[in-house]
Amino acid sequence: MKYQVGRPGRVVIVRFEDHDDVLGDLVELAKREKIRAAVLYLVGGMREGSIVVGPEKDEFPPTPVWKKLGESHEVLGVGTIFWQGETPKVHFHGAFGKKDMVKVGCLRENSETFLVLEAVVIEIEGVTARRELDPESGMVLLKL
């Protein structure tokens, strides 16, 4: 285990509107506000999204299993923002529910708000954590 100790910085409250690009807008927010490290919480609705629900097999490099939302879903989840080079990277895991069906996974692509989605972004100051490509897994992972 490796770790760093930081402290809370600014708190940013975000209201996404219908059809907003959730992941893209979070990246733009991090750039605009120069947020280098943060934890984020999302609650509300999404109409589109592609999520990874695990690897096909427990092997390296992992082959992701993709699921599409494809229609409106309730969403609740937590994520982080850390930069890879000059680009902020959002890592978000959430529960996505519709009627009596629930999917849980890592949101990666095509993230579009349904009606309204709220985010609370809490900046983390005093850390040097970043994302780097891990050659063994082929994934971009947190480095301390």
Find where tokens 């994302």 sit. 131
User: In this predicted model, what pLDDT tens digit does every residue of 8-46 receive, in sequence order?
Assistant: 999 999 999 999 999 999 999 999 999 999 999 999 999
Ranges of each domain in the chain: 11-143
**Beta-strand runs (E) in 34-86:** 37-55, 64-68, 73-84
Topology classification of domain 11-143: 60s Ribosomal Protein L30; Chain: A; (3.30.1330)
User: What is the chain's Cα-based Rg?
Assistant: 15
Give the percent of the chain with pLDDT over 70. 100
Assessment of whether the complete model's pTM goes beyond 0.75: yes
